Amino acid sequence: MSMEIEPPLHVRYYALMKEESESKNGRWVGEEEEREVVEECEEEEELPVIDLGLLKMGNSEREKCISEMVEAARNWGFFQVLNHGVPERVLKGMMYEQKKVFNQPFAKKSLSNVLNLAGTYRWGNPVAMSPSQISWSEAFHMAVLEVSNLEEHVTLRPTMEAVVKKFGRLAESIAEILGQSLGIKACYFKERCEKGRSSFRLNRYPPCPFASQVYGLIPHTDSDYLTILYQAQVSGLQLMKDGKWFAVKPNPKALLVNIGDLFQVVSNDAFRSLKHRVVASEAVERFSFAYFYSPSDDVMIESCTKPSIYRQFSYREYRQQIEKDVEKTGNKVGLPRFFLHNMLPHLGQ
């Protein structure tokens, strides 16, 4: 791989290593003394697999599909879906297009108006305060409503528009089904997200020589209702369940769905937004792309059942609080900031 395409992750890593060691004992710690930060993980797990084709069959098949989905959302917060309505050629086409975008020189990718979209390209973690807060990855992150502004790339825009449209419909459909299991009306999510802040992200994880000391993507939860992810065949995604990290076994025919923070609030903790991460790899390059199903800034987020574990807040307030915490500490705090003090939530994530 040509070095001119790579973001300067090495430079950032060494600068943070130097800062950290100097702040501790006034001397540079050599590589042989570096500690491992990536905790051990359990065996690879096959997440629950839901066949969405059953939704179009008879009542008993449809009910079976819905109950499996609800159970997966309650027990795992993550599940895979088959027969999801996104043709394989569309997914492979998007993977091909994103590789072309990432294979551009770093100097071009990092221009402020790359792809005719402001602030789209990201790499590493600009607010990292230690090596363990670096994300050894690069991404193009854009608002779904801006995808039509893409230019330069003749085939990128129609490919991405097709994926975004299908992922958006899928997210809406799954959110509606899960919501109705909680007694939420069918149009609840559509009304809040139709002109909302849903976004689309292309991810690349370059090979990393310090794979035991940094993450591909630092542990986090998603700040949306639902995320739809396509990750092809290269493993690396891990999620935390019952205090342990589990590696997610890739299924190239499936899309991965996970519950976000906002849905955890709406469900009053019936569904859980699990912490997840991507581990870095010394030898293998990894790609994925994700759709984040999110509301408008002024939408109020509140639990659908009482007594509520969380106080009511707007999506704008939630995002602003996350930004403050990340700037101050390098880490997201998220939902614990919004607990009602008179409730004792179970924090077993």
Which of 37-46, 47-56, 192-201 has the lowest average pLDDT?
37-46
SS (H, E, C) the chain: CCHHHCCCHHHHHHHHHHHHHHHHHCCCCCHHHCCCCCCCCEEEECCCEEEHHHHHCCHHHHHHHHHHHHHHHHHCCEEEEECCCCCHHHHHHHHHHHHHHHCCCHHHHCCCCHHHCCCCEEECCCCCCCHHHCECCEEEEEEHHHHHHCCCCCCHHHHHHHHHHHHHHHHHHHHHHHHHCCCCCCCHHHHHHCCCCCEEEEEEECCCCCCCCCEEEEEECCCCCEEEEECCCCCCEEEEECCEEEEECCCCCCEEEEECHHHHHHCCCCCCCCCEEEECCCCCCEEEEEEEECCCCCCEECCCCCCCCECCEEHHHHHHHHHHHHHHHCCCCCHHHHECCCCCCCCCC
- What integer pLDDT is reported at residue 232 of this predicted model? 76
Report the predicted TM-score, pTM, of the whole model to 2 decimal places: 0.93
pLDDT digits 0-9 by tens, 68-123: 999 999 999 999 999 999 999 999 999 999 999 999 999 999 887 888 877 799 99
Catalytically annotated residue among 286, 311, 316, 319: 286
Residue 37 banded pLDDT, cuts 50, 70, 90? low
Q: Please check the confidence at residue 23 and state whether its pLDDT lies above 80.
A: no
**Does the annotation mark 286 as catalytic?**
yes
Q: Which domains does the chain have, with CATH numbers?
A: 37-298 (2.60.120.330)
